[in-house]
Amino acid sequence: MTHDSPLTRRKLLAAIGGVGLLAAGPRVVGALGGDPAFTRYTYAQSASDGPDLRVAWYERYNGTVLEESNRFSAAAPLTNSSDSFNASGDAGRFVDLTGPDAVDAGPVFSIPNAHPGDEGLLLIGLRAEDADARVWLGVDAYAFAENSLVEPERAANDTDETGELQDYVDVELWYDTGRLGLGGCNGRRDVTEEAVVAGGTLAEVGDALAGGIPLEFGLVDDACIAAGTQRCLALRWHLDPVVSNVVQSDSVRLDIAFAATACDEATNPFGGDA
């Protein structure tokens, strides 16, 4: 899911004229940052269209780290610790996927041969550069493909042309903030860590998040991600060991999109309810 701005970058620059000239550095931003009206503009990012959100992630599949974003900076891989994410964030290793400097991340997880009993984790770090940001999450699950109907599927009375995998992958999505801000970003759900949405099947979670929701990290009563800091979101998936054979060779796709706005923004960038 992409978030299309009604204004192109060129138009935006024209509208607010001269912003690029102000791309002088943190001090200027800091000087102007006292006014909430200004904080939404990432002056330091003259090439950006607005608040600058950057992401980092790592993916674990059956306990093995397969994909992680520090490969773009040739840095040590992210690990399941707050320190790892914090250090990477502070070192500017969170990546931009949308701007002119965007990296082409490709799919952050691609599981070609899932088995019942498989499980995976996608840990996503979200960093607000330079300005506080409210982050919205939209998830789109689609392309529920049957692919081929292998014999065990037919034997299980699977005859249609739509896949069933999305109904058998269980998804849990939570704010991996740790306890009182400590110990987050570890991919293990602490009892104090709240769910983003009620867990359910991939199809159900996709339905719940298709219209987007604001993320409420809830640290010290502040739903926003403060400028220059990062928060983690964890998505754990699991293919039930006792699924029936109807899922064999099925596939599903999944887009996970984040949009950053000003903290007091009430309009849902994904079009859903605020």
Query: Residue from 78, 133, 205, 219 that binds other proteins (CB under 8 A)?
Result: 133
Nearest to 56 by CA among 19, 21, 84, 18: 84
Binding mask 91-130 for other proteins (x = CB under 8 A): -----xxxx-----xxxxxxxxxxxxxxx--x-x------
CA gap 120, 104 in Å, rounded: 22
Closer CB to other proteins, residue 16 or residue 195? Answer: 16
Q: Could you tell me which residues come within 8 angstroms of residue 261 by beta carbon, excluding any fewer than 6 positions away?
A: 40, 51, 133, 134, 136, 267, 269
CA gap 140, 121 in Å, rounded: 17
Tell me whether strands 169-175 and 195-201 are parallel, antiparallel or unpaired.
antiparallel
Site for other proteins in 199-258 (CB under 8 A): 202, 237-243, 245, 247-258
Query: Residue from 21, 74, 182, 191 that binds other proteins (CB under 8 A)?
Result: 21
Q: Does 269 bind other proteins (CB under 8 A)?
A: yes
Q: Does 1 bind other proteins (CB under 8 A)?
A: yes
Q: Does 79 bind other proteins (CB under 8 A)?
A: no
Site for other proteins in 45-64 (CB under 8 A): 48-55, 57, 61-64
Query: Residue from 123, 165, 234, 263 that binds other proteins (CB under 8 A)?
Result: 165
CB of 182 to other proteins, least distance (A): 26
Nearest to 189 by CA among 203, 200, 174, 204: 174
How wide is the angle at C-alpha 96 spanned by C-alphas 92 and 97, nearest 5°?
155
